[in-house]
A and B are shown apart, each in its own frame.
Chain A
Amino acid sequence: TAGITQAPTSQILAAGRSMTLRCTQDMRHNAMYWYRQDLGLGLRLIHYSNTAGTTGKGEVPDGYSVSRANTDDFPLTLASAVPSQTSVYFCASKKTGGPTDTQYFGPGTRLTVL
């Protein structure tokens, strides 16, 4: 079982360009999440989706958008990248949106915005 896959593994992007980070899970999990991880800071939630067709804003949503057209895919789009969006991005999923389920993480995408 693949679990959660993310693409690309890493990317260098010019400021002002747009980009979509892909995330796919094969565990039939209902809830999916996008986090960014920066040195010295905890994982910060960007957007989430508790079930296909719904999305919500996390702690740091500005400059990012998401969609959840089906259960498996949860792409994250940067419409016009800025250097402060340089980070490692992790996608995660869990069985339901409830509090006790474990979140499982993808391998991450390392993004550098110049």
Chain B
Amino acid sequence: GQNIDQPTEMTATEGAIVQINCTYQTSGFNGLFWYQQHAGEAPTFLSYNVLDGLEEKGRFSSFLSRSKGYSYLLLKELQMKDSASYLCAATDSNYQLIWGAGTKLIIKP
């Protein structure tokens, strides 16, 4: 079967660093996406990885290991506005996205 696992909730302190992990099992694999979703809003794109390694984009970085079926999203210098849910999604052999349930990130002052 196809499955995406990520923690339900995480808490971190403003200014700190947090790593949100995601493991995936899909029929075929064509890349992994991370999206951010603030409460009551639509998901917005953060990153896409298809090759192994780290992709850095400002305060956000995303890592992929295809052999381990594993990705993480790293958020640095956390700000209160980073309080949101972070969705991991893997592209399967039919080019459809399989979504995790999301990780709710709570930032405390």
> Hey, which bits of chain A sit against chain B, CB under 8 A?
35, 40-45, 48, 58, 90, 97-100, 102-108
Is there contact, CB below 8 Å, between B43 and A105? yes
Give the contact-size bracket for chain B.
Answer: 20 to 34
**Which chain A residues lie closer than 8 Å to B41 at the CB level?**
107-108
Is there contact, CB below 8 Å, between B96 and A43? no
4 smallest CB-CB distances across A and B, nearest first, come from: A42-B99, A99-B30, A105-B42, A43-B99
Is there contact, CB below 8 Å, between A43 and B48? no
- Any A CB within 8 A of the CB of B21: no
**Which chain B residues lie closer than 8 Å to A100 at the CB level?**
30-31, 48, 50
Which of A40, A42, A106 sits near B4, CB closer than 8 Å?
A42
1/0 per residue, CB under 8 A from A, across B79-109: the answer is: 0000000010101000111111110000000
Is there contact, CB below 8 Å, between A48 and B96? yes
Most chain A CB neighbours (cut-off 10 Å) among B33, B87, B99:
B99
Which of A42, A48, A102, A108 sits near B102, CB closer than 8 Å?
A42
Is there contact, CB below 8 Å, between A102 and B42? no
**Which chain A residues lie closer than 8 Å to B33 at the CB level?**
102-103
Is there contact, CB below 8 Å, between A90 and B95? no
- Any A CB within 8 A of the CB of B44: yes
Q: Mark out the residues of chain B between 39 and 69 whose CB falls within 8 Å of any chain A CB in the assembled complex.
A: 41-45, 48, 50
